[in-house]
Structure 1
């Protein structure tokens, strides 16, 4: 028997014996009301509502748009019309079903023309092997241990980055910085601080894209080359590496430029005002303004100042097809610059926090890699449990 997953030592069956899938429920952003119920679209949980449609635990699959993406909800949720959800788990372990579905390439069953679409009737009859419930429980427990560690680290990252933001707010918005009791504030500016243009305190470097017609600019490339998606899909400020690499030849024959490790990457086109700090020397496409402070002690201050002012930055973006803030306009924006000593104190504390974030982010990538190596072996029965 040809099977999409499972061991021949398990019980032969069809996907619908593991889980019965049902199309989700339509709801627009305008119809969603403030609440704690996650709304799952084909790209995952990206909004909330005050009413659920389904009780957890449950498994959700991308049906339209992002095809075959698999998500898990332990609590009640709202599966969007662009998804399929687990109407009946058939007595199986929900987490096991979640991991099992990741072993099926749902794009093979795309029935859409312009927009990828998955029909549940085309996958319900897929042949699979299903283990007994105790085996399901053990497999789910092993894989969940990795995901639980990843989630714990993710929560720590959120708390750490929030701590840095609150420190910035305390010192540089409320002006309760160390020694503030002895500093006069004149016209809203603490004595000893200066009001500068951004171009006076940092370099602003753009990016570019090598010709896609020349494979030598891309093949076997080792130069990190960030696109805005690398930043918008990243879960924290630490940018460990880019999804795409270019070659030295691609770098030298395009407007892409190398920026040093530890630079501030700010998306400047379409999705304006998303930030990251590159761990390695890298290049970017033209969708960025990359910021290198003249005084290294200003790096974290600059980052948090810009994040605090993100709506102001976006308000300066223009364009008919998509919004973009030009380097020329960005450079003229004013910035309140603290004395180097105070900026250095913030740099030290915020950098220490960022290094912890980076270490946790690296750990999560390693945990995810180990889990993903283990998943097919457990699901094929190659590792007995």
Structure 2
């Protein structure tokens, strides 16, 4: 459905409204023949439809005129790069029929998809792990004789009597109860009995200042990361907003109280007494009773899979934000070993964490830089004997026949910022042959180099599969592969980012013209030297790969230790 639109035709429907979400649902119900015994709909809706107060009557209309079978909660990001709105699928039968009391269901199935098999970012790359949707597909008939198996794979039964009493809200997680695992070896206590909670400060946006001395550092959800506080992302305000009990101290545990469902409940350990540091209103601080629990032990417990399940279960979710209350936080039941045993656990986990920190430094600091070399060919991209510069194009967005074909058509989403040089073998978006023929987009051969030259300047990729490219790129086709190796040229152009930014011009956004792009200097060593340099870089990269494995192995070790405390 076209999310959050307005309409002037709402008076044609049973529940007159200018809200497009309401009218779309009513329209889909009315579109099904009321005489049909098997009329059914599966409708993708923005999650707001499931709980917004102004749509209460529409949900009531849905329940009265359909047999609701299931609600499938999709993770935020499944429709990227087009929209990041969190969505759900409503599946109903007996559509557009007044449901008699004897036919009415007493409940419906709720299924929470955490992964659809693709990365939940603009790239939407296929993952090695299976899609949760395959579980739904296996049981999509919702047969009564499969109930036990369905519950085991993640289906939940939502009683409709609770829905009717709760403004017809259809978000299944609102009715979820969390069963806490009990450790066989350790006492189980509520978090509220061993710690106190403090909410962060509020301040108007106009209070924010540029970084300067003698200001208050406000740690926000953006600055409080799982591996520590990123002080490059704190907010600065006047010290007059400071409150003594809301400053952060060594041993405090910061927790994200309002965030996306995936990140709500994320904790950050405060490892030292930072000067003039407080925390924002979306954050909370957990301050422990040192006679009962060590803060580092508690940090690891709150970072465990079991705790994250709890936060996800109790979070109150709106369209984009999930919230955890201090009441729910205090009701988290967790294992509490003796203090001496906690210290043993901390000692073991700290050793693993040091391994992870060291490995991350290797991974994060490595960049495949070209070494010094003796230039054999000094030219520019305008050298017609060596290169052809090709611009991209965009098919008309007004013609649906141009989109969704089998031709890869790359955009900036296919060149992520975190990758130094991207290998491109497929794209987020695709076009049809008709779309290609009716635009200035041209097919790029394998080995072509694509460079972002509009607004975001200097991202570089190597084409590994024939594809078309949009107008935000300049593309270099190498005419003499016996003189230039594509990977070498890609690395060389990546190091020319500063030169590209100088060549760009424009008021609204900067862009490099084809003429100016051709001015970029290209200094090439011999082919054998290029091969030697690339071999050396590949050797360096082979040293980085084990560091990535170290991170994976020791993160698993930490999980194993914590799971053992929980009794697994």
TM-score category (smaller protein): 0.5 to 0.7
Name the SS for the 2:211 alignment partner. Answer: coil
1:23 aligns with 2:200: yes
Q: How does 1:174-213 map to 2 (within 5 A)?
A: 177=373, 192-197=376-381, 200=384, 201-202=386-387, 206=392
Correspondence 1:1-385 to 2 at 5 A: 4=178, 6-9=180-183, 11=188, 13=190, 20-23=197-200, 28=208, 30-31=210-211, 41-42=221-222, 44=225, 45=230, 47=232, 54-62=248-256, 68=263, 70=266, 72-73=268-269, 75-76=271-272, 78=277, 81=280, 83-90=282-289, 91=293, 92=295, 93=297, 94-99=299-304, 102-103=308-309, 104-105=311-312, 108-110=315-317, 116=321, 118=323, 120-121=325-326, 123-125=328-330, 127-133=331-337, 150-161=356-367, 164-165=368-369, 167-168=370-371, 171=372, 177=373, 192-197=376-381, 200=384, 201-202=386-387, 206=392, 217=404, 227-228=412-413, 231-232=416-417, 234=418, 236-237=419-420, 239=422, 260=446, 266-275=451-460, 281=465, 286=470, 288-289=473-474, 293-294=478-479, 295=481, 297-318=484-505, 323-326=509-512, 328-329=514-515, 331-341=517-527, 342-357=529-544, 359-360=545-546, 363=549, 371=556, 378=563, 381=566, 384=568
How far off is 1:315 after superposition? 3.6
Q: Deviations over 1:275-314 (max 9, x none)?
A: 5668x64869745556565537544543443333323322
Query: Aligned Cα RMSD in Å?
Result: 5.5
The answer for unaligned runs of 5 or more in structure 1 is 172-176, 179-189
Distance in 2 (alpha carbons) for counterparts of 1:361 and 1:18: 36
CA distance in 2, matches of 1:356, 1:87: 40
Q: 5+ residue gaps in structure 2? A: 1-175, 237-246
Inter-partner Cα distance in structure 2 for 1:293 and 1:24: 57
* Equivalent residues of 1:226, 1:282 under 8 A apart: no
Q: Aligned pair in 2 of structure 1 residues 40, 259: CA closer, same or farther (>3 Å)?
A: farther
1:149–1:16 distance in 2 versus 1, CA, 3 Å? same
CA distance in 2, matches of 1:31, 1:75: 23
- 1:367: how far off? 5.2
> Per-residue displacement from partner, 1:243-267 (whole Å, max 9, x unpaired)?
98567x7698566967748x75644
Secondary structure of the residue that 1:7 maps to in structure 2? coil
Q: Secondary structure at the match of 2:521?
A: strand
* In 1: Cα distance, 2:495 partner to 2:425 partner: 25
Distance 1:55 1:242 in 2: 48
Indicate conservation of the 8 Å contact 1:38/1:47, yes or no. Answer: no
Give me the whole-angstrom Cα distance separating, in 2, the residues matched to 1:258 and 1:380. Answer: 55
SS at match of 2:232: strand
- Say if 2:315 and 2:322, in contact at 8 Å, map to a contact too: no
Contact 2:254 2:267 in 1 (8 A): yes
CA distance 1:272–1:238, shift in 2 (3 Å): closer
In 2, Cα distance between the equivalents of 1:317 and 1:16? 60
Match of 1:47, SS state, is: helix
* C-alpha contact (below 8 Å) 2:421/2:494 kept by paired residues: no
Q: How big is the shift at 1:197? A: 2.4
Aligned length: 343
Superposed displacement of residue 131, structure 1 = 0.7
3-state DSSP of counterpart to 2:458: coil
- 1:108-128 CA-to-partner distances (Å, cap 9, x unmatched) read 4356x8x74747547545x42
Higher RCO, 1 vs 2 (CA within 8 Å, ≥6 residues apart)? 1
Distance 1:109-1:85 versus aligned 2 partners, 3 A rule:
same
- Larger Rg belongs to: 2
Give the TM-score, by structure 2 length: 0.45
State the shift of 1:353 in Å.
2.5
* 8 Å CA contact 2:189, 2:336 repeated in 1: no
Q: Please give the alpha-carbon distance, in whole angstroms, between the structure 2 residues aligned to 1:61 and 1:209.
A: 46
The structure where helix makes up a greater share of residues is 1
Query: Which deviates more from structure 2 when the two are superposed, residues 102-111 or residues 152-161?
Result: 102-111
Q: How far did 1:332 drift?
A: 1.8
